[in-house]
Structure 1
Amino acid sequence: MVSALIAAEIDGERLSDTDIRAVLLLLGVAGNESTTKILGNAWYQAARHPDQRNIAFQPGRIGDWVEETLRYDSSGQMTPRLVTRDVEWHGTVVPAGSRLLLIFAAANHDPRVFPVPDTFDLNRDTSKAIAFGTGAHFCLGAALARLETRIVLEELVAAVREDYDVGTPTRVHHPNIRGFRSLPTTIKPR
């Protein structure tokens, strides 16, 4: 990866050391933080919603558990953007050069898109959720994060009974990362 970044060229120019460090930091932090926080959020939300936990522990439902967690309680909350040209957004012109903070976690609770958005519901259509962004800014690691989350949850479901209990969690305090520093859990092995 590092060699590819060093060799990369955009319009005949190589990436600066600052750009390379930024990409490596992004991949290291995002790849580690987002998956671990998604896992904790999924485990916690299932514990808080036992009716949905019953669904999550059914065969073939881990994917629904992952996707609803990404919509309902995503580990990433927002992303900053620099507006490169004047753009009209919901009747307001945002001028070029403006800084914009896109809070996609709020978009995933938009009642125009998701009926009863503040309900954790594994039977919901999550196809319009944007936990990993969209378009040109879609997260490079989205597929890997989903795969890792699904595999860990599959292993947990196979190893423990669904009547686990969570104790008092400790949240991470960060403006963009939602998740837990610790999530004490009492389990019963299968």
Structure 2
Amino acid sequence: MTAVPPTGRCPVLAPHRLDLIDPDLHQRDGAHRIWRDLRHRAPVSRQSAGSLGYWSVVGYAEAGQVLRDHDTFTSERGTLLNLLGKEDPAGGRQMAVTDPPAHTHLRGPLRQALSIKAVENDREEIRRVVAGLLEPLADGGPFDFAVAMTALPTAVIGAMMALPEADRPRLARLAHACVAPDDPVFRLGGGGPGATLVTAHRELFAYFQDTVTARRRSPGNDLISVLLTMELDGRRLSPGEIVSNCYSLLLGATVTTAQPPSAALAELAGTEALDDWAAHPELLSSGVEESLRWSSPTQHFMRHTTRDVELRGTAIPAGEAVVVWLGSANRDGTVFTDPDTFDIRRRPNRHLAFGAGAHYCVGHTVARVTLRILFAELLGRFTGIEPAGTPRRMRSNVIAGFTHLPITARVRNPLP
């Protein structure tokens, strides 16, 4: 692997040696080795992607700069690499691909609806969902923890959106198909990644279109009803804008909540670290933050430069795609001591798992509360958590996680 030092010239890594877009690389967990090398050799580098190209950013400081400076690095042309070279049709309409000030107007009501006070009202429902997902682990036989966790985010956000419980398993599968269409586990209808993505998008948008129409006739206190009351530029959101933001909320929850528990157990199961964590409930929050840093479930965010800019001594022209690799930024040794160790006592832990700046994940409170409840239930009720088979990583450059993680455990405190 070769790189031109970042001296204002254009660092380009040999394309035949490096393809960070390749989902197989992420499934093999090979990206961390490459990211580590890039952080030393070329923290900002030009990468090839077929006939297209993008700028790869792997360091913590530079990642934070890109994510926070929305004036220079816009989200409105798409935030994921599957849109490289295309324009995002939701740009300026969906909160995730809208810059301030419009983004701020969209974000305000949702941030209030997803505040800690609002989430606390759903705490017992979240606990009920978590207990139900973990119940089969009490049988003592092999339990696929990763499969159980894929149902967690849709169950929680589904309740907050007042979506019928019977619909949630299908929604979970469609949401995962959108973020991991390259993984055969989530393929739809026997088609390839492209067909899977088209099918998943079509079915989710059709589902939310029907749901929004029905909710407009009978609104409540749920998130979809909040979207129905929101305004942008002095007008109510259009049905298409509401549907697009419903889709964004579902996918955001899917990416941020399902994977940190699986990543934590993949690293800690069979070690004394889990018993140590269980013996120190005061470390629940710091352990959850470490699971977020360690897993960095969102692999990347993409932005586009609105003007010529210099980043870490490298000149990037206007109109260029810039990709921040969150998993790399969260293992930057200049920020995190012993970054490749899962440390439940890590403080401070200013990870970028939820992004940074104006686009900091609006659902971070829901994710954190859900993860704290999940780990409290898991560590409070079970002990002797051991691997029971070979884990299987997800084949995706969007979401870092597992499709299979077999474990066994013993009941610590039987349910009353």
For the residues of structure 1 that align with 2:348 and 2:265, how far apart are their CA atoms?
18
Preserved CA contact (<8 Å) 1:132 1:139? yes
Q: 1:171 matched to which residue of 2?
A: 393
Corresponding position of 1:61? 283
1:66–1:97 distance in 2 versus 1, CA, 3 Å: same
Please, which runs of 5 or more residues in structure 1 have no aligned partner? Answer: none
1: CA distance, partners of 2:327 / 2:239: 32
Offset from partner CA, 1:170-190 (integer Å, 9 cap, x none): 222111111111211111111
Aligned to 1:152: 374
Name 1:92's counterpart in structure 2.
314
Task: Work out the CA distance in 2 between the residues paired with 1:94 and 1:127.
Answer: 30
Q: Which residue is equivalent to 1:187?
A: 409
SS in 1 for 2:380: helix
CA distance in 2, matches of 1:53, 1:93: 46
Q: Secondary structure at the match of 1:79?
A: strand
In structure 2, stretches of 5+ residues that fail to align are 1-222
Write the deviation string for residues 49-80 of structure 1: whole angstroms up to 9, x where unpaired: x2432332122222122111111222111111
**Alignment correspondent of 2:115:** none
- Classify 1:22/1:111 alpha carbon distance in 2 versus 1 (closer, same or farther; 3 Å): same
Deviations along 1:77-115, one digit per CA (max 9) or x if unpaired, are: 111112233332111232332211111110011111112
Q: Aligned-pair distance for 1:126?
A: 4.1
Of residues 102-111 and 25-34 in structure 1, the stretch that sits farther from structure 2 once superposed is 25-34
Whether the aligned pair in 2 keeps the contact of 1:55 and 1:122 (CA below 8 Å) is no
Determine the C-alpha separation between the residues in 2 that align with 1:120 and 1:160.
20
Say if 2:234 is the partner of 1:26: no
> CA distance change for structure 1 residues 169 and 131 in 2, over 3 Å: closer, same or farther?
same
1:71, 1:126 within 8 Å by CA — same for their partners in 2?
A: no
How far off its partner does 1:160 sit?
0.6
Identity value in percent = 36
Q: 1:5 to 1:95 in 2, by over 3 A?
A: farther
Change (3 A) 1:80 1:15: farther
- Provide closer, same or farther for how the CA distance between residues 15 and 91 of structure 1 changes in structure 2, counting only shifts above 3 A: farther
Give the direction of change, closer, same or farther, for the CA distance of 1:156–1:108 in structure 2 (3 Å limit). Answer: same
Q: Residues of 2 paired with 1:81 and 1:2: CA distance? A: 28
CA distance in 2, matches of 1:55, 1:21: 45
Which residue, out of 293, 300, 305, partners 1:83? 305
Shift of 1:14: 5.4
Q: Deviations over 1:124-163 (max 9, x none)?
A: 22432111011111011111111101101101111111x2
1:122 aligns with 2:352: no
Q: Which moved more, 1:172-181 or 1:132-141?
A: 172-181
Length-normalised TM-score, structure 2: 0.42
- Highest Rg: 1 or 2? 2
**1:52 paired residue number:** 273
The CA distance in 1 between the partners of 2:326 and 2:348, in whole Å, is 14
What SS is found at the alignment partner of 2:254?
helix
Q: State the superposition RMSD in angstroms.
A: 2.1
Higher helix share: 2
